[in-house]
A and B are shown apart, each in its own frame.
Chain A
Amino acid sequence: MHPQNRDAGEIADLYGLLAEFDTAEGLLAAAERAREEGFRRMDAYTPMPIEGLAEAVALGKTTVEKLVFVAGLLGATGGFMLCWWMTVVAYPHNVAGRPLNSWPAYIPITFESMVLIACLTALIGMLMLNGMPQPYHPVFNVKEFERASIDRFFLCIEARDPRFDREATREFLEGLNPLEVMEVEK
């Protein structure tokens, strides 16, 4: 951290303040306190999913399920239409006088197409909504952050939060009983 960055109000190079916790419960309590305090621009980083944490750091509803639902409908429709078009329009073939639109026979392909498109959307949609692949993120500038994927729990209050203040927010975070509070450079 360069000394000039410590000037009051000079937070252009600061991404946020990162507090490190050694338990999931400690982090969850801290995130809830931060929310009550009025912070909205924040995120928590954990080595495994923690129930209730996303709500605490202000994520409303996820939209993955909506995407997947629409994709499933499109997949099913596409699969069925493909079969219908192949047998009725493109390559009509009279099999023992049965109707060309023999829809019950299309069901397996309709189902498989639904699953295929929905699953691809679940993965790609999740990655896109998460902004991945993302080669760079400021939190990785903090050395201790390596343990966010192993055994430590982090809460980051971002500088773009309207209530953010370098000193006051640091004091607030230190009051939450963390192991350490660190500055995250952009």
Chain B
Amino acid sequence: MADELEQTTVIDPGPDEVLGPGHNFDTVTQKISGVVYRPFSRTPIQMFVGFGIAFVFVNIFLGAVTWLFYRGVGIWGIVIPIAWGFAIVNFVWWIGIGHAGTLISAILLLLKQDWRTSINRFSEAMTLFAVACAAMFPILHLGRPWLFYWLLPYPNQMWLWPQPRSPLIWDVFAVSTYGTVSFIFWFTGLIPDFATMRDLRANTRVGKLYGMLAMGWRGSAKHWARYQKAYLLLAGLSTPLVVSVHSVVSFDFAVAILPGWHTTIFPPYFVAGAIYSGFAMVLTLAIPVRRWFHLEDLITTRHIECMAKVMLGTGLIVAYGYAMEAFIAWYSQNTYESYAFYNRIFPQAGTYWWTYWLLITCNIAIPQMLWSRRVRLHTWAVFLISLVVNVGMWLERFVIVVTSLTRDFVPSSWGMYYPTMWDWATFAGTLGVFLCLMFLFIRGIPAISIFEMREVVHEKEAVHAPAE
């Protein structure tokens, strides 16, 4: 049946509709499950190429990490005073990317946004994999990563306990909770879809596998009632959680007294930046995937345009954050604070001033094109802008982490940071890990929530019914 569907032309219903014409319960089911239940040979060639490239990077990652375990963090460019190099830049970048997934699935659910439905599953998976990539970095950065469990409070023969007054321990709790809750949210959403996958291939090996995951779900009205309540509670709990996680990440910086870090604007500015980069990543992934699998009638121009608008909005909040940093540098009349800002923006030999201007170009200047509706409706333009924002948000973390550390209070403790090949290999490697997991997810699990799409179909029918 999936074959028949692919032969019919796929119609993108434009920026006003969340679902293409002619869909009923069966067609949305077949179409979404068809992405998974298609013969191996009928996987789009781009998936093979993409997975192949990503897999190369997975191996680069494994190589880089093996060398790191063998030699220690000295293979990276970190020095004193810049002890937080790429590892922390990448950690903040990845965890920020995850935030859009939770925002889409939780906050947009509570706000009853109709454009949430076909992108939530996908973004939740993105969150999960981004958090996995993020969580690796602080552990790799530990120096003795095999002792990471010392971060957790557990009874031990040394009678030592973590310090809960430190933002770094808050981070342990925030990130591990975030990872767990993201998984719970994702899995809860999947249970009814696993049941659908089971029933589409009853009594086959793959059907049994999905059957185990569905745990006997049979769509009972009583079960749905509890399910919906649980799902709503998860959304309600995830909403403050997503705000708390990046706030806690920002405390890692803001609680320190370093000029350029010690700023009260950090929590809201970090959260907005996280959502900004997360939406950019969702767009970066969703635009090619909807094209490869001909999903333009499920992920429509409306979804793309709405995400582009959120990106523009959060981008402006981030711009406000930059402006406040500049304002406080002047208004505080604090020598160190002003110097930290001066050091960021004015061209001087041997500083990172150019990264700041590249960041402003990527995060503030170029995304302003999204004010134009024509640009927002031009899918590939949005795709390119999303790539630019991804780069810009990475640069932002670089500017915050590295530039601030290079020049603190006393000139005798100034230094420069030069990333090594291993820094780049580890970063590029996690991109490979992330993309590999995304490709496997798309091929193995319904990437769009089937039962929620049925609800969209049902609502659409209800709207049209009286006119008939």
A contacts, CB < 8 Å to B: 24, 31, 43-50, 53-54, 56-57, 59, 62, 64-65, 68, 72, 79, 82-83, 86-87, 90-91, 93, 95, 102, 105-106, 108-109, 111-113, 115-116, 118-120, 122-123, 125-127, 129-137, 139-140, 145-151
A108 contacts B25, CB within 8 Å? Answer: no
Give the docked Cα–Cα distance between A172 and B415 (Å).
85
Please give 18 more A-B residue pairs, beta carbons under 8 A apart, in addition to A24-B458, A45-B220, A46-B224.
A31-B221, A47-B25, A48-B454, A48-B455, A64-B233, A86-B164, A90-B159, A91-B159, A108-B167, A108-B244, A112-B170, A115-B177, A115-B241, A118-B233, A120-B184, A131-B216, A149-B196, A150-B29
Give the docked Cα–Cα distance between A146 and B29 (Å).
13
Which A-B residue pairs are the 7 nearest by beta carbons? A134-B216, A151-B25, A54-B225, A133-B215, A126-B230, A83-B164, A105-B165
B142-169 interface bits toward A, Cβ cutoff 8 Å, 1 = contact, 0 = none:
0000000000010000011111110101
A59 contacts B225, CB within 8 Å? Answer: yes
Residue with the greatest number of chain A CB neighbours at <10 A, chosen from B185, B187, B221, B244 = B221
Residues of chain B lying within 8 A (CB to CB) of residue A148:
199, 218-219
Whether B399 sits at the interface, judged by CB under 8 Å, is: no
Residues of chain B lying within 8 A (CB to CB) of residue A106:
164
When A and B form their complex, what is the total count of cross-chain residue pairs whose Cβ atoms lie within 8 Å? 192
B165 contacts A65, CB within 8 Å? Answer: no
13 contacts between A and B (CB under 8 A): A48-B455, A68-B230, A87-B164, A95-B165, A108-B167, A111-B240, A119-B234, A122-B184, A122-B234, A126-B188, A148-B218, A150-B25, A150-B26
Give the docked Cα–Cα distance between A96 and B222 (Å).
57
A64 contacts B173, CB within 8 Å? Answer: no
- Shortest beta-carbon distance from B112 to chain A in Å: 14
Given contacts A43-B221, A62-B229, A140-B218, contact A150 B240 (CB under 8 A): no
Give the docked Cα–Cα distance between A140 and B217 (Å).
11
- Shortest beta-carbon distance from B156 to chain A in Å: 11
Give the docked Cα–Cα distance between A133 and B192 (Å).
13
Whether B335 sits at the interface, judged by CB under 8 Å, is: no
Q: Please count how many residues in chain B sit with their CB below 8 Å of the partner chain's CB atoms.
A: 62
- Shortest beta-carbon distance from B443 to chain A in Å: 21
Residues of chain B lying within 8 A (CB to CB) of residue A105:
164-165
Closest to A65 in B: B229
Closest to A139 in B: B218
Give the docked Cα–Cα distance between A53 and B233 (Å).
20
- Shortest beta-carbon distance from A31 to chain B in Å: 8
B224 contacts A53, CB within 8 Å? Answer: yes
Residues of chain B lying within 8 A (CB to CB) of residue A62:
225-226, 229
Whether B202 sits at the interface, judged by CB under 8 Å, is: yes
Contact of A146 among B199, B224, B454 (CB under 8 A): B199
A122 contacts B451, CB within 8 Å? Answer: no
- Shortest beta-carbon distance from A154 to chain B in Å: 8
B contacts, CB < 8 Å to A: 24-26, 29, 153, 159-165, 167, 169-170, 173-174, 176-177, 180-181, 184-185, 187-188, 192, 195-196, 198-200, 202, 215-230, 233-234, 237-238, 240-241, 244, 248, 251, 451-452, 454-455, 458
Contact of B181 among A24, A49, A116 (CB under 8 A): A116
- Shortest beta-carbon distance from A109 to chain B in Å: 5
Contact of B153 among A43, A86, A108, A137 (CB under 8 A): A86
- Shortest beta-carbon distance from B247 to chain A in Å: 8
- Shortest beta-carbon distance from B379 to chain A in Å: 29
A111 contacts B221, CB within 8 Å? Answer: no
Give the docked Cα–Cα distance between A3 and B14 (Å).
58
Contact of A116 among B167, B180, B218 (CB under 8 A): B180
B184 contacts A150, CB within 8 Å? Answer: no
Closest to B197 in A: A149
Closest to B248 in A: A108
Give the docked Cα–Cα distance between A17 and B331 (Å).
77
B199 contacts A149, CB within 8 Å? Answer: yes
Given contacts A86-B162, A90-B161, A112-B174, contact A135 B216 (CB under 8 A): yes
B227 contacts A115, CB within 8 Å? Answer: no
Given contacts A49-B224, A54-B222, contact A112 B216 (CB under 8 A): no
- Shortest beta-carbon distance from B200 to chain A in Å: 7
Residue with the greatest number of chain B CB neighbours at <10 A, chosen from A45, A50, A118, A126 = A126
Closest to A28 in B: B221
Residues of chain B lying within 8 A (CB to CB) of residue A123:
184, 187-188, 230, 234
Residue with the greatest number of chain A CB neighbours at <10 A, chosen from B181, B222, B225 = B225
Residues of chain B lying within 8 A (CB to CB) of residue A147:
199
Contact of A122 among B25, B163, B237 (CB under 8 A): B237
- Shortest beta-carbon distance from A141 to chain B in Å: 12
A132 contacts B216, CB within 8 Å? Answer: yes
Residues of chain B lying within 8 A (CB to CB) of residue A129:
226
Residues of chain A lying within 8 A (CB to CB) of residue B153:
82, 86
Given contacts A46-B219, A48-B458, A54-B225, contact A115 B181 (CB under 8 A): yes
Residues of chain B lying within 8 A (CB to CB) of residue A65:
229, 233
Residues of chain A lying within 8 A (CB to CB) of residue B169:
109
Residues of chain B lying within 8 A (CB to CB) of residue A43:
220-222
Give the docked Cα–Cα distance between A181 and B251 (Å).
62
Contact of A50 among B188, B199, B215, B224 (CB under 8 A): B224
Given contacts A83-B164, A137-B216, contact A47 B451 (CB under 8 A): yes
- Shortest beta-carbon distance from A170 to chain B in Å: 21
Give the docked Cα–Cα distance between A123 and B64 (Å).
38
A49 contacts B240, CB within 8 Å? Answer: no
Closest to B25 in A: A151
- Shortest beta-carbon distance from B113 to chain A in Å: 18
Give the docked Cα–Cα distance between A31 and B195 (Å).
23
